[in-house]
Chains A and B, each alone.
Chain A
Amino acid sequence: DVVMTQSPLSLPVTLGQPASISCRSSQSLVSSDGNTYLSWFQQRPGQSPRRLIYKVSNRDSGVPDRFSGSGSGADFTLKISRVEAEDVGVYYCMQHTHWPVTFGPGTKVDIK
């Protein structure tokens, strides 16, 4: 199975400052169809996960443009340009290029 790692696992941030989360996979996530099926999710306490980014860098509808995704192969990054209070939660990367689908361990973002 593809192992997903994230760093850091805990990220205290200052409101209005940028934040960045790294996600690495144990093998390339480039699919035979040429797509890279790497997504990012936000989970607020008590809520279901919400997808923010799909296929590395595509923002879902309604997701603020302060969220951006980048990367390739096996190395990916989620960036928040200016953290807001509503961004507190746990962020997960997920790959579904290879089955079974696997998630990273999560990065807990909170306000300093």
Chain B
Amino acid sequence: EVQLVESGGGLVQPGGSLRLSCATSGFTFSSHYMSWVRQAPGKGLECVANIKPDGSQKSYVDSVKGRFTISRDNSKNSLYLQMNSLRAEDAAVYYCAETGGGYWGQGTLVAVTS
């Protein structure tokens, strides 16, 4: 059974940092492009970052460039998102997903408020 389990969400003040983690199992993680997708309350889906299977190429949506960093550890079958300089508009449920969309986690909630 494929599983993606996110952790690390929570409440943070504007300007703060969080590190999201995604532990995966049940598929060959090291062979798949991976993404972080977020969904603000009542809004649509937005892919904020993607990473190649070997980690050699990454991309970001403009609104998070320079603040967020995606990474992976294929030895641990895990995906990460380091989020710095958080803003109110970053508040959302963050999903870990296989880039093609075949596999999704349950999401972790990030709240940014003073």
A interface residues (Cβ-Cβ under 8 A, vs B)? 1, 37, 39, 41, 43, 48-51, 54, 60, 90, 92, 94, 96, 99-106
Contacts and interface: CB of A to CB of B under 8 A. Distances in A.
A96 B105 contact: no
B100 interface: yes
Q: Sorted from nearest, which 5 A-B pairs have the closest CB atoms?
A: A101-B47, A99-B59, A51-B101, A48-B104, A103-B45
Contacts of B105: 48
B44 interface: yes
B59 A106 contact: no
Interface of B: 33, 35, 37, 44-47, 49-50, 59-62, 95, 97, 99-102, 104-107
Contacts of B104: 48-50
Scoring A37, A51, A104 by chain B CB atoms within 10 A of each residue's CB, the highest score goes to: A51
A102 B97 CA distance: 13
A96 B99 contact: yes
B95 A48 contact: yes
Contacts of A90: 44
Contacts of A1: 61-62
B102 A103 contact: no
A42 to B, nearest CB: 11
B109 to A, nearest CB: 13
Nearest to B95: A48
